[in-house]
Amino acid sequence: MRSSRSVTAVALASALVLAACGGAGETPANNGGAKSGEPAPGVTDTEVVIGSHHPLTGPAAPGYSKISVGARAVYDYINDGGGVNGRKITYKVEDDGYNPTKTVEVVKKLVLEDKVFAIVGGLGTPTHSKVLDYLTTEGVPDVLVSSGALMWNAPEKHPNTFGYQLDYTREGKIQGKFIKEKLAGKKVGLLVQNDDIGTDTQKGLDQFIKDQIVERKTYDPANTDVTPQISALQAAGAEVVVCECIPAFTALTILTSLKIGYKPQLMVSSIGADPATLTGLVEQFAKQGGTQVSGGALLTGIMGTRYLPSVRGASDPWTEFFKGIHDKYIPQEPFTDTMVYGMVQAYTFSQALKAAGKDLTRQKLLDAMSSGELKGPGLTPFAYSKDDHAGYTGALVFQIAADGSVNTLEEAMTTDTESGEVKAVDDKRPTPQEVKLVG
Amino acid sequence: MLNKLPPVVVHLLAALGCLVLLVLLTFAADPFTNLRIATVGYYLIAVAGLALLTGFNGQVSLGHGAFMFIGAYTVALLVKRVPAFPIWADLLLATVAGGVAGLLAGAAAARLRGPYLAGATLALAVGLPAVTQRFPELLAGSNGLSFTVNSQPAGLVGTIPSTQWQAWIVWLAVLLALVVLANLARGKLGRTLRAVRDDEVAASLAGVHVGRTKILAFLVSSACGGLAGGLQAFLLGTAAPGSFTVALSLSLLAALVLGGLGSLWGALWGAIALVYFQVWTDDIAEVLSLRSDISDNLPLALYGVVLIVVVLAFPAGIQGGLRKLWVRVRRPVPSQRGEAS
């Protein structure tokens, strides 16, 4: 008995020592803050080290693990051409398995051990949101985040963070306007992921088709049975189903509709509308369920939105350019829209790095990002300015044809995240020659 | 001479010695290595709790990640909702929350054995993180909570890196918990735990309350899990359902088997393996520069191979292997169980 009492006493004594510090949730009076002005870590005369976190294993890896493969090929291409401003880019990718705890660990590794100059294209909302404050405190540039959440655009709170892909609200507005005009009067059902993908998208859709929507259903990424949701949409008589889903759930929606004999017009958002990835997933899931389907046939007629050139679209100077890099550096990997996503990201970062100049500092990179000068392979302009850190601002609407190619139904539109007008893009896209980094 | 002292004093002195060594170690290490040292710390206490349950009491838990989940969310919610609480109070409450959950789980588990117990605890690990979906306002759904923990005294800010300070706090908490565990394991509870593990009928004939003992083992073990989760949240500033998958629970159990069941030292080797295998295999994968779909999965595959090899070569884990080695080195001495009676 005496021993347990002394254990308690020691525990209490140490607790009292610790009590000297303030409340755990209170902000200390004097915080470090961004450290600009110091010489930039990760930069020498011949090298700049950057890092990123991606799901290379685990549930989100199928499809998404190829983004960094594409990005690395672009950096290899640029390095072989002499690098940017004489500096070769060293690209360090850490696997976080889409696990937020791992994300925090690997990002701290990149910052503290590898001493990266910047984090480029960190992937995922649940993952990247956990390192946002850390990167802000450490003053590490955190550019081209691979997620469409709105939280990356907060220049006051997170001056170092810049978005990349089209955010979910803008995408919802563009889809909503298209449905209102081109699919007028049809009953619409929604199937959205039960996180901010869902809420942000509905904010956009509701501006246009609130009275057309007859049913709203959410899915949980952990539960792969969407039969109840699809049945409810069918029962409500929805003729158009807007699916704001990650690739696996677009595929499940297609297969479940087939199973219950329901044939709505699908409208898929850019995060889950890569035809090559979808074909693979549909066939794989059907095989696991014990049936054989033709992915190509099932995908015919599906509509979707995208803001990048497609490998299956009409010939585009940028897809040809990236195909050249692909064939030279990673010919063994399939050339997909997901891979192009990573390639565009890497190219855009390299452009910003070039614009930051020979005398590279972290602040100069951020200035280059927010200058508004950045124009690249995407179909719509970036929103970047001093007080706007959102990425792509619009998208076009496409439809998958029977032969697997994609046809444009509506040219690229651009808009804002509030109630602003959805209008045609008037900016001219530069060609690869106009913004070339090599040669 | 040490044998004359009561075990609690010996354990406390040992813990103090370890703490001094660790503080010195953190001064030698860079900030990121300090983060890894702290990571070993919280895994150690989680695996040590599991060692008490599985190694000493023979109950298998495939759901210890669920108790870490409870601990992590307790700290997260306290930091966000009750910012005035100091971190030690948050951690204490995380331990209590883990313990209470373990008490409930243990009450159900005490009636189950073998595969049924494994199944029930597995259900806990699978089901509990889904609670975040039910209460999205409070627990922030699948995105989880993120927060900044302020624990460093104002005088130390800027003088030592924050990860070094965090490593100290984590190890102070872990060593205190280990002292408690070591005392329990050596004392009456340890004996009854082993008696119940070896033969329940014999134990109950000897006057041991079998059900109560099993629940107590679950309580202590899950309190350790709660503390581990709380320390993880403190260290990384995040609590999200994606971090507490079944894979976490299984890797804790794998670490325990790898380190060696039935000894708290085994928990240490297991925790070190859990953190550093990943690092080494990542380095190997990088050096080999293989195709991406091979190198991405190589660390996991290597971990599996090492686990199999260790279990085949040393069925009693790393600690068992070390003990065998030690016995061989000290062969001239006939017996090493010279307990002063």
Q: Which of A19, A23, A126 sits opposite B240 (nearest CB)?
A: A126
Residue A220: domain span: 169-306
Q: Which of B12, B143, B147 sits opposite A126 (nearest CB)?
A: B143
- Quickly count: other Cβ atoms within 10 Å of residue B194's Cβ: 16
Q: Which of A4, A95, A332 sits opposite B296 (nearest CB)?
A: A95
Q: In what order do the strands lie in the sheet with A161-163?
A: A88-95, A47-54, A118-120, A142-145, A161-163
Q: Which whole number is the average pLDDT over B173-179? A: 96
Compute the distance between CA of residue A201 and CA of residue B197 in angstroms, rounded to an integer: 55
Measured CA to CA in angstroms, residue A123 lies from A262, B115, B246 at distances of: 34, 38, 22
Q: List, as one string, the DSSP characters of B137-180.
A: HHH-GGG-EE-----S-GGGBTTB-HHHHHHHHHHHHHHHHHHH
Q: Which residue reads 């619409």 in tokens?
A: A188
Give B132→chain A minimum CA distance, Å.
Answer: 11
Q: Which of A28, A65, A221 sits opposite B296 (nearest CB)?
A: A65
Q: How many domains does chain A have?
A: 2
User: Would residue A422 count as lying in a domain?
Assistant: no
Q: State the pLDDT at residue B114.
A: 79
Asked if A179 and A203 sit in the same domain, the reply is: yes
Give B-chain residues touching A194 at CB under 8 angstroms. Answer: 133, 136, 141-142
Give A271→chain B minimum CA distance, Å.
Answer: 17
Q: Side-chain half-sphere of A40: how many Cα atoms within 13 Å?
A: 23
Inter-chain residue contact A7 with B180, CB threshold 8 Å: yes
Compute the distance between CA of residue A329 and CA of residue A319 in angstroms, rounded to an integer: 15
Give B194→chain A minimum CA distance, Å.
Answer: 20
Token duo for residue B245:
């998958």
A11-40, pLDDT tens digit by residue?
544 544 444 456 777 765 444 444 445 568
Q: State the pLDDT at residue A32.
A: 40
Asked if A300 and A339 sit in the same domain, the reply is: no
Token duo for residue A5:
């009492």
Compute the distance between CA of residue A109 and CA of residue B36 in angstroms, rounded to an integer: 9
Q: State the pLDDT at residue A361.
A: 94
Asked if A216 and A300 sit in the same domain, the reply is: yes
Contact call for residues A407 and A293 (beta carbons, < 8 A) = no
Token duo for residue B23:
């503080």
Q: How confident is the model at residue B102 (pLDDT cuts 50, 70, 90)?
A: very high
Q: State the pLDDT at residue A20.
A: 44
- List the beta bridge partners of residue A52: A93
User: Would residue B284 count as lying in a domain?
Assistant: no
Q: State the pLDDT at residue B77.
A: 96
Asked if A80 and A152 sit in the same domain, the reply is: yes
Inter-chain residue contact A99 with B243, CB threshold 8 Å: yes
Asked if A258 and A365 sit in the same domain, the reply is: no
| Residue B211, SS3 per DSSP | helix
User: Would residue A300 count as lying in a domain?
Assistant: yes
Inter-chain residue contact B293 with A65, CB threshold 8 Å: yes
Give B113→chain A minimum CA distance, Å.
Answer: 29
Give A-chain residues touching B242 at CB under 8 angstroms. Answer: 98-100, 126-127
Q: Which of A22, A65, A66 sits opposite B86 (nearest CB)?
A: A22
User: Would residue B325 count as lying in a domain?
Assistant: no
- Disruptive mutation site among B82, B150, B278, B280 for chain A (greatest number of A CBs within 10 Å): B150
Give A-chain residues touching B88 at CB under 8 angstroms. Answer: 14-15, 18-19
User: Would residue A437 count as lying in a domain?
Assistant: no
User: Would residue B313 count as lying in a domain?
Assistant: no
Give B-chain residues touching A57 at CB under 8 angstroms. Answer: 296-297, 300
Q: Which whole number is the average pLDDT over B120-134? A: 89
Residues (pLDDT < 70) of chain A are 1-22, 27-39
Q: Which of A130, A220, A333 sits opposite B238 (nearest CB)?
A: A130
Inter-chain residue contact B32 with A21, CB threshold 8 Å: no
For residue B294, is pLDDT > 70?
yes
- Angle of helix B210-236 relative to helix A100-108, nearest 10 degrees, comes to 50
Give the CATH number, domain containing residue A120: 3.40.50.2300
Q: How many domains does chain B have?
A: 1
Tell me which amino acid residue A228 is.
P
Task: State which residue of chain A sits closest to B82, comparing Cα positions.
Answer: A25
Q: Which residue reads 């792509």 in tokens?
A: A392
> Could you give the dihedral angle defined by the CA atoms of residues A108, A109, A111 and A114, in that order, rounded to the nearest 10 degrees?
180
Token duo for residue B40:
């070993």
| Of the candidates A52, A96, A95, A101, the residue with the CA atom closest to the CA atom of residue A75 | A52
User: Would residue B306 count as lying in a domain?
Assistant: no
Q: Side-chain half-sphere of A343: how many Cα atoms within 13 Å?
A: 28
Q: State the pLDDT at residue B248.
A: 92
A77-120, pLDDT tens digit by residue?
999 999 999 999 999 999 998 889 999 999 999 999 999 999 99
Asked if A208 and A271 sit in the same domain, the reply is: yes
Give A-chain residues touching B234 at CB under 8 angstroms. Answer: 24
User: Would residue B332 count as lying in a domain?
Assistant: no
Q: State the pLDDT at residue A4.
A: 52
Contact call for residues B239 and B97 (beta carbons, < 8 A) = no
Task: State which residue of chain A sits closest to B179, comparing Cα positions.
Answer: A7
Inter-chain residue contact A27 with B150, CB threshold 8 Å: yes
Give A151→chain B minimum CA distance, Å.
Answer: 12
Q: State the pLDDT at residue A34.
A: 42
Asked if A294 and A339 sit in the same domain, the reply is: no
Q: Which of B35, B133, B149 sits opposite A194 (nearest CB)?
A: B133
Asked if A158 and A173 sit in the same domain, the reply is: no
Give B-chain residues touching A56 at CB under 8 angstroms. Answer: 292, 296
Give B-chain residues touching A23 at CB under 8 angstroms. Answer: 82-86, 150
Task: State which residue of chain A sits closest to B92, comparing Cα positions.
Answer: A15
User: Would residue B272 count as lying in a domain?
Assistant: no
Instruction: Pick the last residue of a domain from A306, A324, A340.
Output: A306
Give B32→chain A minimum CA distance, Å.
Answer: 6
Residue B177: domain span: 2-244
Contact call for residues B193 and B60 (beta carbons, < 8 A) = no
Give A357→chain B minimum CA distance, Å.
Answer: 31
- Disruptive mutation site among B183, B275, B296, B300 for chain A (greatest number of A CBs within 10 Å): B296
Q: Which whole number is the average pLDDT over B160-176? A: 93
Asked if A299 and A180 sit in the same domain, the reply is: yes
Asked if A192 and A152 sit in the same domain, the reply is: no
User: Would residue B218 count as lying in a domain?
Assistant: yes
| Residue B187, SS3 per DSSP | coil
User: Would residue B135 count as lying in a domain?
Assistant: yes
Q: Which of B33, B146, B180 sits opposite A130 (nearest CB)?
A: B146
Give ipTM to 2 decimals.
0.86
Share of chain B above pLDDT 70, in %: 96
Contact call for residues B298 and B292 (beta carbons, < 8 A) = no
Give chain B's end-to-end CA distance (angstroms, integer). Answer: 13
Q: State the pLDDT at residue A284.
A: 87
Instruction: Pick the last residue of a domain from A272, A289, A306.
Output: A306
Q: Which residue reads 């779909």 in tokens?
A: B293
User: Would residue A179 count as lying in a domain?
Assistant: yes
Q: Are strands A142-145 and A118-120 parallel, antiparallel or unpaired?
A: parallel
Alpha helices, DSSP H, located in A213-293: 227-235, 247-259, 275-288
Q: Which of B153, B240, B292 sits opposite A100 (nearest CB)?
A: B240
Q: State the pLDDT at residue B2.
A: 59
Asked if A316 and A289 sit in the same domain, the reply is: no
Task: State which residue of chain B sits closest to A25, comparing Cα positions.
Answer: B83
Give A-chain residues touching B136 at CB under 8 angstroms. Answer: 194
Q: State the pLDDT at residue A261.
A: 94
Asked if A138 and A189 sit in the same domain, the reply is: no
Buried b (16+ CB within 10 A) or exposed e, B223-235: bbbbbbbbbbbbb
Inter-chain residue contact B242 with A126, CB threshold 8 Å: yes
B54-78, pLDDT tens digit by residue?
999 999 899 999 999 999 999 999 9
